[in-house]
Amino acid sequence: MDWLIMCTSLSSTGSSGLFESAMGNTFPKRGSYEYIRQKTEMVFYNPESASQELIDEVYDIVNDLGKCIRIVKTAKSAVRHNLEDRLKEIKQPVLLIWGLDDEVTPAWVGKKFHDLLPNSELHLFEKCGHVPMMEHPEEFNELLENFLNRVSSSVEIV
């Protein structure tokens, strides 16, 4: 049985499945700290939000050959497995949270998910890139908590 069918609800932010541009036309450039810094900063509305610690962590991940191969395989899989035709099958409540300034999966992708998911709600954050949970943590957590409280109160335990 498909795991999506068994869930009582879903939440998603900046998700792949309809459109992919995380790496643009390039693969992670191992050894190029400047490239990794730019790509890490790109996920934020304000590039200065990308801490040195985060950039270093991403750099270390990309320079670990095993992890880098898994990243590339995941990215290729997301491109190959477009979900557009299957989203209508998801009847569970879905919370979509997106940044209006997301360069990785643009806001139109969130709107497309919302159009294709029959029981979804979409929240768009202004001045926000690909990581609303990091850029607007209080608002993000409040939306998620309210959503989970709403859907859990409507779930009948058998």
Task: Tell me phi and psi for residue 141, to 5 degrees.
Answer: -65, -35
Task: Give the pLDDT confidence score for residue 30 in this predicted structure.
Answer: 66
Backbone angles phi, psi at 75, to 5 degrees: -60, -45
Q: DSSP readout, 40-101?
A: HHHTSSSGGGS-HHHHHHHHHHHTSHHHHHHHHHHHHHHHH---TTTGGG--S-EEEEEETT
Model-level pTM?
Answer: 0.79
Measured at the alpha carbon of residue 27, what is the angle toward residues 33 and 39, in degrees to the nearest 5?
45
pLDDT tens sequence for the chain (158 residues): 343 444 567 777 777 666 655 445 555 566 789 999 999 999 999 999 999 999 999 999 888 889 888 877 877 777 777 778 888 998 899 999 999 999 988 999 999 999 999 999 999 999 999 999 999 999 999 999 999 999 887 765 55
